[in-house]
Structure 1
Amino acid sequence: MALRAGQVVTLKVEREAAFGVFLTDGNEDVLLHKKEQTHPVELEEEVEVFLYQDNEGRLASSMTIPEASFEDYVKTTVTGTRYNTGVFVGIGIQKDVLVSLDDLPQRRTYWPEEGDQLYIRLKHDQKLRLLGDPAPYAFFNLMAKPAPEEWNNTEVEGLVFAQREPGVNVFVNGQTIGFLHENEMEHWPRLGEVMKLRVTNIKPDGTVLLSARPRAYEAIDTDAELILNHLLEHGGQMAYGDKTPPDTIQDVFGLSKAAFKRALGRLLKDKKIEKNETGVQLKK
């Protein structure tokens, strides 16, 4: 059988070279670079190695046997991005593995970035080059367990594993499937992004609904500070209040009308502002 990238095979050390040794199965020779040796090897020694293609497309080998295989999905870390090719993930050997753009979201802004995490298994393209194959929804669904009740309204860690408008699927705390709707986002997350989220609802099937937004009472302080700063920058007065159109509030403050009114209410209650004929002003 011809040797192929991704195989784990036992080969014999045939001859030495300045940069390593060549291994053979009796028909093909494969380089084992010094950097890929876990210990020095000797002539005629039989060595178990993982096969991959080097940067020139030649078959090479490593004595480090990665967890990644053609059968099982494993979690890997993104090491880099190439715009017209895809993203690269580390599997423990010198050469990173490409996840093709064909297996990534169409929008480049949704692509993983360096440090993000992808579950992948190995596969070949038509030219038998080694690629990483991202795990589908079915893989996470098979691993998933129902969320415990105590998760409700608590912070969790989620790994984005599928772009599914109008939101994304998230693997929560390494055990439960969650959904983050676009209305609960502060930005549209990348595939492979690890996020701090809050469980807003545990559904009967054990999956969860999530939010990346702060709780309303946490947001009030930030929104109130935004309004106070605006007042300070404009002589202590502004012509915006309860009757101001939502579009104007959004344009000026970047807040929804509801968030704006909640923040105004907090400032009035704390006696930091007062209403006047045209809007509100800082309390004297």
Structure 2
Amino acid sequence: MNVKLGKYNQLKVVKEVDFGVYLDGDDDGEILLPARYVPDGCKPDDVLNVFIYLDNEERLIATTLQPLVQVGEFACLEVAWVNEFGAFLNWGLMKDLFVPFREQKMKMQQGRKYVIHAHIDEDSYRIVGSAKVERYLSKEHPDYHQGQEVNILIWQKTDLGFKAIVENKFSGLLYQNEIFQPVETGMQLRAYVKQVREDGKIDLALQQDGVKKVEDFSEVLLKYIKDNDGFTPLNDKSAAEEIYSAFGVSKKTFKKAVGDLYKKRLIVLEEGGIRLA
């Protein structure tokens, strides 16, 4: 098959019809792009970037809509409806994404969201989803270095913290005692690699470790004080929740930044807060 099912394809327009245009799918034949998705001024020989999936009659069809997940990717999607065969998730297209019961870890419920992996079913050749995420995570050893910034999808709450999918490929973990912001399943966040363990699992943090993080936040804190008439009532005795609410950092990071600014004689520590020097 030349056309990549469940992914974007660059295909040439071969002819126009009343109900849309046909695209050149090479060995897969001509593929319809329905009229509602045809760009203005589109004509034969134009090359369009389209997503290819299957219509209700299992025929290849094109769309210019942007799906919430492509084949080979993970996403958190909401269940639109359920029947005797499985669940159907809203992935941004006219036809919902099917998750058969055998691919569900627990029976999916309408209106709830679940993290799934999209793939092509070998038996039916349909695009389906699976909530059995572990099966589709890479077994390769990640080649990340400490402090490297990565994209993560929050996948599952555990006793230790939150499991996360790193760069749509690897398994990672955020430790509960190192999380200083609201986190829940389905969130897409930026994180930092703390270490890659021998088993290939990745320990993650939502804030940078070390000097760079403190230096970056020192600048933020100094600007905040300047912008607030040279004073903030927050200090090292303030509650961690108050500090996080104001700055989105841990109390530990806040105290280090205060110490950094104090050593540089940029601030004065007072009983009721911090004042610009």
Name the TM-score, length of structure 2 as normaliser. 0.54
For 1:145, give the aligned amino acid. Answer: E
For 1:61, give the aligned amino acid. Answer: R
The answer for the alignment partner of 1:62 in structure 2 is: 60
Preserved CA contact (<8 Å) 1:201 1:210 = yes
User: Is the aligned partner of 1:132 residue 2:128?
Assistant: yes
Closer, same or farther: CA 281–185 of 1 in aligned 2, 3 Å: closer
- Pick one of 120, 139, 147 that aligns with 1:144: 139
For 1:35, give the aligned amino acid. Answer: Y
The answer for the alignment partner of 1:155 in structure 2 is: 148
Specify the SS of the correspondent of 1:235: coil
The answer for the alignment partner of 1:86 in structure 2 is: 89
The answer for the alignment partner of 1:215 in structure 2 is: 209
Matches of 2:215 and 2:110, distance apart in 1: 35
- Partner deviation per Cα, 1:40-82 (whole Å, 9 max, x = no partner): 69xxxxxxxx99543xxxx353399xxxxxxxx941587x977
Specify the SS of the correspondent of 2:72: strand
User: Is the aligned partner of 1:270 residue 2:257?
Assistant: no
Matches of 1:255 and 1:107, distance apart in 2: 36
The answer for the alignment partner of 2:119 in structure 1 is: 120
Preserved CA contact (<8 Å) 1:88 1:99 = no
Which blocks of at least 5 consecutive residues in structure 2 are unaligned? 6-16, 32-51, 63-69, 82-87
Preserved CA contact (<8 Å) 1:37 1:63 = no
- Pick one of 185, 191, 197 that aligns with 1:203: 197
* Displacement after TM superposition at 1:260 (Å): 2.0
User: Pairwise mapping of residues 185-264 of structure 1 onto structure 2 (< 5 A)?
Assistant: 188=183, 191=186, 193=188, 196-250=190-244, 253-264=247-258
* Displacement after TM superposition at 1:139 (Å): 2.0
Specify the SS of the correspondent of 1:75: coil
Matches of 2:187 and 2:98, distance apart in 1: 12
* Displacement after TM superposition at 1:167 (Å): 0.8
Structure with greater Cα Rg: 1
Preserved CA contact (<8 Å) 2:243 2:250 = yes
Which blocks of at least 5 consecutive residues in structure 1 are unaligned? 1-5, 7-17, 21-32, 42-49, 65-72
User: Is the aligned partner of 1:35 residue 2:22?
Assistant: yes
For 1:75, give the aligned amino acid. Answer: G
Specify the SS of the correspondent of 2:121: strand
The answer for the alignment partner of 1:67 in structure 2 is: none
Preserved CA contact (<8 Å) 1:186 1:213 = no
CA RMSD after TM alignment: 4.9
Q: Percent identity?
A: 15
Matches of 1:201 and 1:180, distance apart in 2: 11
Closer, same or farther: CA 263–179 of 1 in aligned 2, 3 Å: same
Closer, same or farther: CA 106–181 of 1 in aligned 2, 3 Å: farther
The answer for the alignment partner of 1:75 in structure 2 is: 72
Closer, same or farther: CA 233–240 of 1 in aligned 2, 3 Å: same
* Displacement after TM superposition at 1:210 (Å): 1.6
* Displacement after TM superposition at 1:268 (Å): 0.8
Preserved CA contact (<8 Å) 1:87 1:99 = no
Matches of 1:157 and 1:253, distance apart in 2: 21
Preserved CA contact (<8 Å) 1:36 1:63 = no
* Displacement after TM superposition at 1:222 (Å): 4.5
- Partner deviation per Cα, 1:99-145 (whole Å, 9 max, x = no partner): 45985987979657xxxx94323399xxx9x661226244235x412
